[in-house]
Chains A and B, each alone.
Chain A
Amino acid sequence: MAENQFGYAKPKALNEALDIISKSVNPFILAGGTDLIDMIKEGVVQPDMVVDLKGIKKFKQITFKHDTLFIGAGVTFSELIESEIIKKQFPVIADLSRTVASLGIRNRATMIGNICSAVPCMDSGPLLAAYEAEVITAGPKGERKIPTEKWFIASRKTAIKKGEIVTGVSISSPGKHGSCFVKLGRYEGEDLAQVNLIILALKDGTFRVSFGSVAPVPIRAKKIEHLINGHPITPSLVEKACKLIEEEIKPITDIRATKEYRMHMAKIMFERGLNAAISRLNGGGPEYGKNLI
């Protein structure tokens, strides 16, 4: 039993949810609850009202219209893995989702919850940064679309304002592209990331590179992108790019790894991820789902 007492509401519509939030002192949004319930039990947060989004059907949507993917606030990682749209259009999102925690967590946890908790080792942050996704919020003043790079402010701190609910994220397809997500944990299975990264190789010869778990917020490695965009990827260019990683990321030493190990592995993961993304752009392997480390 949670120590503090709170109210519980399961609205069926967004407006109803916004109304309840506006009338509460310290409301918390409940989607999967895999972070929130733990935080309530630990006493880290003390809501007076918990608003369960699982009654709002449209939050379960995964759509792909006009080359834009929308993932609703109630979509779990298991649903992302099973989605035909994701499999066909953005297989790397399924790859990433498979590495999140364990099955029993993925069956509940949502991508939107992941980016609202905004813990530095989250997997979804670097992905959304690389795809230049927009976080969509609804609030008393209407809808806002916030670019990923402005969404993450600090560890566990986002651009959400009081009274707002994140309704989903949208990703404009960058056209035909190869992608690769690489995650390093202490062991395979359910561990959190020591380093994670995503690389997109676009048809026009440009790249998008994002790192996670190596700074308080996801890092879009624009210096590296600038260096390699439009150039043939030679071993000497990769070497230069790896040197730049030292400027782009700021890993720390914690319970899961030392900063030196994280830096070392980030370079290896970058090289393998880059090669895989380029190869996939050109219709080759390694097939999606294969672990590269």
Chain B
Amino acid sequence: MNKEINFVLNGEKVNLEVAPGEILLEVLREKLGVKSPKCGCNKGDCGTCTVILNGKTVRSCLVLAIEVDNQEVVTLEGLMQSGLTPLQESFLKNNSFQCGFCAPGIILSATELLGKNSKPEKREIQEAIAGNLCRCSGYSPIIDAIIDITN
């Protein structure tokens, strides 16, 4: 039943065997040691498992690992290969996160937004991160940081 898959993960070719029932989030964390995507609700509501698949954010808890065969996956580790991104610096400056559990997902969602729209309005930012739940911050410092970087 196992099948060999090949995909590009954070710029590097990856090759491994998976069973069709294996979930991308679990394969990333347990088999490939990529720990930034987290398991929160495990059903697509909370956004902590967000990864970028072929340029778009997806819920890795709702993707089979076998589906990413021949595709390209980017996690937060891939974005910060040469250090903190300006967006991350802005989050730091604004004290945007407390526990940080939601941070990788929010950073990826914000990255997708800013890639499409370099000057989003506050409402657009709120909409872009509406699927990323944060239980510490009340969201304001997160939104402030994203607005900051667009100025």
Contacts and interface: CB of A to CB of B under 8 A. Distances in A.
A104 B64 contact: no
Interface of B is mostly: mixed
Contacts of A50: 20, 64
Given A102-B47, A103-B112, A190 B62 contact: no
Contact of B67 (A1, A33, A34, A189): A33
Given A8-B66, A37-B64, A104 B47 contact: yes
A41 B112 CA distance: 28
B59 interface: yes
B109 interface: yes
A142 interface: no
Contact of B20 (A7, A101, A103, A108): A7
Given A5-B21, A78-B56, A189 B62 contact: no
Contacts of A123: none
B45 interface: yes
A143 B32 CA distance: 44
A105 B130 CA distance: 11
Interface string A7-20: 11010000000000
A107 interface: yes
B131 A33 contact: no
A40 interface: yes
Contacts of B59: 34, 104-105, 108
A54 interface: yes
B62 A188 contact: no
B122 interface: no
Interface string A67-110: 00000000000100000000000000000001001111101100
B70 to A, nearest CB: 10
Given A40-B21, A50-B20, A104-B109, A7 B1 contact: yes
Contact of A105 (B20, B23, B64, B131): B131
Given A6-B20, A34-B44, A102 B66 contact: no
Contacts of A7: 1, 20
Contacts of A10: 69
A164 interface: no
A30 B45 CA distance: 19
B3 interface: yes
A5 B1 contact: yes
A56 to B, nearest CB: 14
18 contacts: A2-B21, A8-B3, A8-B20, A33-B63, A37-B62, A37-B63, A37-B64, A41-B23, A41-B42, A41-B43, A50-B64, A101-B131, A103-B127, A104-B57, A105-B59, A107-B57, A188-B126, A189-B130
Interface of A: 1-8, 10, 30, 33-34, 37-38, 40-41, 50, 52, 54, 78, 98, 101-105, 107-108, 188-190
Interface of B: 1, 3, 19-23, 26, 42-45, 47, 50, 53, 56-59, 61-64, 66-67, 69, 109, 112, 126-128, 130-132
4 closest Cβ contacts across the A-B interface?
A102-B131, A189-B130, A2-B21, A8-B20
